[in-house]
Structures are given as structure tokens and as C-alpha cells.
């Protein structure tokens, strides 16, 4: 799944998304773990702000460098061979790895360039790749076209939780 642009219109506030997701996960007895990069921990913080988060949130990691990927996710050179950061395959890799290492029902992964400048990979500021891995796997690429780091970080977190909310609803319809 892919999207070329996103300005945040129509994406619910972070706290609202987290509350809805938390309620769904608690109701189903499911759990989540999060691997973030350019959102800097905002996704984990939003989920942890939901009362009763210990029932569904198993942990998170801010994986902001290759060194962090190795230390926090156990990523090896073989794991990332032929792959670069800030792509949907990489987002799916880290989402799957955090899910597996935490033995969670769901793993969320996010990687991008929050700004104000682009990434070392040549991606423009506002470039984001997100992934959800669980009973359903989904990923998306978003380009905000914005250089405002704080605004992008918030939007990145909202986009990842929005994709997760969509996956949870899709799981409902597939059962």
C-alpha cells in the first residue's frame, strides 16, 4: 500500500488514535511493540499515555541509527543486505523484528526523514515509510513535502497509528 503525499488532513489526533487502538487491543487480548526512528518515540508515548497500557503495550525502541538497530533489534549485516533504511521493506523488517523479539501480536515500524533537511539516503524531508506486521501486514510510503521537523514527527506518529487502526479494522472484517 502506498501514498504519495500527506498533509495530515483527516488523520485523527495522536491521543484519539492511541485511545481507540488501546481499547481495541485490550478488548481482543492482543499486544503491540513499536520500533520507531524519525517519530522519536511519539508512538510509544501516545500508547503508553492510554490508561491500562500495560495490558497491551509490550515495549518500544527508537532505532535512529544502524548501531541502534544492531543493539536494540539484533539486526545483522545479513538481515539488511540489499536493503536501505527509509523504505517500506525496511519498515516491515523492523516491525516484524520488534514483534518477534517482544512476542507481541503486532509490530509497528517507522523510518523516515523528519527534516529540516533530507536523509543521508537522498530522501527529502517529510519522507516516511511505515509498516504494521501481525495477522495482517501493511506498509505505506508518505511524502509530506514539509521541512518542519516537529510537525513531521507528529504527523509520522499519527500516520503509523492510523495505519495500525486500519489494520485492526481490516482484521475485524476478515474474521
- Give me the helices (H) in the chain, please: 14-28, 42-48, 66-73, 88-102, 149-174
Distance of CA 89 to the CA centre of its chain: 13
Q: Where are the domains of the chain?
A: 14-50+57-174
Q: What is the pTM of this model?
A: 0.93
Of 50-54, 65-69, 120-124, highest mean pLDDT:
50-54
Residue 39 pLDDT more than 80? yes
Distance CA 73, CA 157 (A): 20
pLDDT for the residue numbered 10: 77
Q: Which range has the worst mean pLDDT, 5-9, 56-60, 105-109? A: 5-9
pLDDT for the residue numbered 172: 75
Q: Which range has the worst mean pLDDT, 46-60, 69-83, 134-148, 152-166? A: 69-83
Distance CA 100, CA 125 (A): 30
Distance CA 128, CA 91 (A): 9
Greatest C-alpha distance within the chain: 43
pLDDT for the residue numbered 6: 55
Burial class (CB in 10 A: 0-12, 13-18, 19+), 17: buried
Q: Which residues contact 78 (CB under 8 A, 6 or more apart)?
A: none
Which pLDDT tens digit goes with each residue over 66-106?
899 999 999 999 999 999 889 999 999 999 999 999 999 99
Q: Which residues contact 5 (CB under 8 A, 6 or more apart)?
A: 142, 143, 144, 145
Residue 3 pLDDT more than 80? no
Average pLDDT, the chain: 93
pLDDT for the residue numbered 5: 45
Percent of the chain past pLDDT 90, that is, above it, reads: 85
Pair 126, 165: CB distance under 8 Å: no
Reported as a pLDDT band with limits 50, 70 and 90, residue 7 is low
Distance CA 92, CA 149 (A): 23
Distance CA 21, CA 158 (A): 12
| Cis ω before 116 (30° cut-off from 0) | yes
CATH superfamily of 14-50+57-174: CinA-like (3.90.950.20)
Amino acid at each position: 500500500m502506498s501514498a504519495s503525499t500527506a498533509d495530515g488532513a483527516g488523520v485523527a489526533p495522536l491521543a484519539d488514535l492511541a485511545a481507540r487502538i488501546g481499547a481495541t487491543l485490550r478488548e481482543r487480548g492482543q499486544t503491540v511493540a513499536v520500533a520507531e526512528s524519525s517519530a522519536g518515540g511519539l508512538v510509544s508515548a501516545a500508547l503508553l499515555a492510554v490508561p491500562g497500557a500495560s495490558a497491551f503495550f509490550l515495549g518500544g525502541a527508537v532505532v535512529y541509527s544502524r548501531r541502534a538497530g544492531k543493539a536494540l533489534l539484533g539486526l545483522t549485516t545479513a538481515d539488511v543486505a540489499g536493503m536501505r533504511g527509509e523504505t517500506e521493506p525496511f519498515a516491515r523488517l523492523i516491525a516484524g523484528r520488534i514483534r518477534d523479539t517482544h512476542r507481541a501480536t503486532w509490530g509497528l515500524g517507522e523510518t523516515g526523514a523528519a527534516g529540516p533537511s533530507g536523509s543521508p539516503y537522498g530522501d527529502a524531508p517529510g519522507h516516511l515509510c511505515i509498516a504494521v506486521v501481525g495477522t495482517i501486514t501493511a506498509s505505506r510510503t508518505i511524502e509530506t513535502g514539509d521541512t518542519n521537523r516537529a510537525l513531521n514527527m507528529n504527523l509520522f506518529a499519527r500516520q503509523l497509528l492510523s495505519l495500525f487502526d486500519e489494520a485492526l479494522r481490516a482484521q475485524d472484517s476478515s474474521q
